[in-house]
Structure 1
């Protein structure tokens, strides 16, 4: 019984292979031309040929479905899951097998004669024997699958359309004016800037006689100051929406003080200079992307920054008389490199790309924490402890950038900051406002960005002050390098 079972199994396998070999021959028979049928149809009109073609296509589809059903049954029989020639489930009619158990080859279908060159119809492209042009194969994109019929491809296309592709120049504008990268990359941004101040003020040294006549010296004092700051800002994208950075500045200050009245003559001038260099106020920030830019919505990023008083405080620095022949000329013993206060800044920035134009804007609020100092007096030999509270700053700005090539862009923007009066509180007393401490600083800014390669970008900027409280100008250049 075992030998007979083995022999029957081998015979069944040979029969199965023979059936599979016969199927391609049956399919190939569908395409054999019938010359007689072609000649008989050559005299038909175009409408009759199209009608015959539709009937032929329908019949071929039914026969192909029949062949597919036979292949399925043969595979099931080969794997022991069914019997060859078993009754069908009624899905499609199957021709009865021949004497050898193989499917009977289908009868060839009549073919429509080739459309003659003079007949109306397609005149270009490859055509079949029926005269109907074949559909050209759709080339598949390199490195990907065809999008037709693919849901994933449609979703990818929608996502790409939802987030406009930016050029390298536009990305440089985004990082500079809006927010850092959100793609788990480390960026080291080194920059250097020069801030210039030129202030003139009228100095009166004397008293009023009879409440109407001034007796004393009237001098015009001038202060010229350069502040050169070099800083390194390290930024890293924690997620695709959260980024963190820390900025460490080093400040060098040089000031020149010019006052008239040397030797008692108001026309004679004397001057004095001072220099200081030290670390500035270290600050760090956290960015969160609330909304990613899409077709109708801008990119919205919120930020929270903290600045620590690591630089030299301006409080307690004494003024000394530099020129013994001019009592009006006094200068500080050293120059500050920081504000002396902790502060917290919350801001929101918005950016929208309309290739090649980028629009951006921002608004922020800075809260300065009150701090106690052991001495805030600038007079030598005098000590005045007090608590100081700087005014909270409201700042806003907006601008536009134009990417005039793949790697170059230019921008112009306007910023304005308003700081109310500062307040001091002596021990055991109430808060007192500091006269003249309110400031309004406005400036117009120009920028030029150049992308060197995928890692390095060069950003140049010039800021021109529009109010007396703003610097005369600020010139800077930065070199962000992304790893």
Structure 2
């Protein structure tokens, strides 16, 4: 429900802290807290497309040097469709809880050629995967009362589960193992829908109303927890991998939003994540490098009714490992 950044409702009139101004959402973390005793249901759909010469992109398979075997990968075309239902509840005027349940459908087409076969002919290997994704739980707390030319600060703590299909549980096209096996491609026969690791992400979001715009951003740190006694599935067996520790992720974003009229608003922003190297049994995996993910985002929000809004955002990847384009539609519905 976008509104002008220069017209916050005084706290003395509402009996509760001034809420941050609302802008068209383009990042995962909302800046506006749910009022006390109210809840919001937000169905959303996100489509992502990427084309890369690396078979593993951050988000699902974080250990490319481990999972890739006997193919010379030329290009990977990846389509990802995620439908999610997010619920938020205002515990107090400054504190809210959130739960998000996603369902993921993925489709990969890998253009490559098999090695050790003497063939130079490129082939296309197709794989799909669909299942529930990683369920997330979050809590947010508003530190202060902001206002016109005064910033708001909101802290966030997010926990990501392992409910999605595990990358280590999908079957890899190898009879016993990839290295030295000339009959397998080393590619997964179906695709995971989760990261395979528990993670915890603290962060802080700031919003600064400055007529006629609202400036906003956040800083986050995502801690991935290592897994021990990990093995991956191959045809007719399993291969032990030991202890896998994916790299942690440092992230920040910033943007600006403006109210176009009483019902609509527009936002533009940039989101960046720096993903650390993956370790196997305490040693950095060969070929694992720190990855930079940068996305430029544009968003538009329209208030359908006093309790319902429609938000659309478009993201364009600015680095090689970032999805080329993402389209997200959200429909938050408030219940008072």
TM normalised by structure 2 equals 0.80
Q: 1:221 aligns with which of 55, 63, 74?
A: 74
Out of 362, 372, 388, the position equivalent to 2:218 is 362
Equivalent in the alignment of 2:132: 279
Greater helix proportion: 1
Residues 103-122 of structure 1 mapped to structure 2, 5 A cutoff: none
**1:115-137 superposed Cα distances (whole Å, 9 cap, x missing partner):** xxxxxxxxxxxxxxxxxxxxxxx
TM superposition shift of 1:470: 1.1
- Answer with 410-419 or 350-359: which moved more: 350-359
CA distance in 2, matches of 1:420, 1:331: 24
In the alignment, is the contact (CA less than 8 A) between 1:175 and 1:181 conserved in 2?
A: no
197, 207, 217: which one aligns with 1:341: 197
What are the within-5 Å matches in structure 2 for residues 241-252 of structure 1? 241-252=94-105
**CA offset at residue 457 of structure 1?**
0.4
Higher relative contact order (CA 8 A, sep 6+): 2
Match of 1:445 among 287, 291, 297: 297
- Residue 253 of structure 2 is aligned to residue 392 of structure 1: no
Alpha-carbon RMSD: 3.1
Query: Contact between 1:259 and 1:328, CA under 8 Å: does it hold in 2?
Result: no
CA shift, 1:232, in A, is 0.3
Distance 1:465 1:174, change over 3 A: closer
Equivalent residue number for residue 301 of structure 1: 154
Gaps of 5+ in 1: 1-155, 203-217, 426-430
User: How far is 1:368 from its partner?
Assistant: 1.1
8 A Cα contact 1:421 1:436, kept in partner: no
Residue 157 to residue 236, structure 1, CA distance change in 2 (3 Å): closer
Larger Rg: 1
Q: CA offset at residue 361 of structure 1?
A: 0.8
Greater share of residues in strand = 2
CA displacement, residues 72-131 of structure 1 (integer Å, 9 cap, x when unaligned): xxxxxxxxxxxxxxxxxxxxxxxxxxxxxxxxxxxxxxxxxxxxxxxxxxxxxxxxxxxx
Shift of 1:261: 6.6
> What is the count of residue pairs matched by the alignment?
302
Call closer, same or farther: CA 1:377–1:260 in 2, change over 3 Å: same
Q: Distance in 2 between matches of 1:386 and 1:198?
A: 31
Contact 2:205 2:218 in 1 (8 A): yes
Superposition deviation, residue 445 in structure 1? 0.7
1:393–1:419 contact (8 Å) kept in structure 2: yes
Secondary structure of 1:409's match? Answer: strand
Q: Distance in 1 between matches of 2:327 and 2:11?
A: 43
Contact 1:320–1:380 (8 Å) recurs in 2: no
Q: Deviations over 1:33-59 (max 9, x none)?
A: xxxxxxxxxxxxxxxxxxxxxxxxxxx
Counterpart pick for 1:434 among 276, 285, 288: 285
Q: 1:475 aligns with which of 311, 314, 327?
A: 327
In structure 2, the residue corresponding to 1:173 is in which secondary structure?
coil
Per the normalisation by structure 1, the TM-score is 0.57
Gaps of 5+ in 2: 1-8, 56-70, 176-181
- Tell me by how many angstroms 1:389 deviates: 1.1
How far apart in 2 are the matches of 1:417 and 1:402? 25
Residue 191 of structure 1 corresponds to: 44
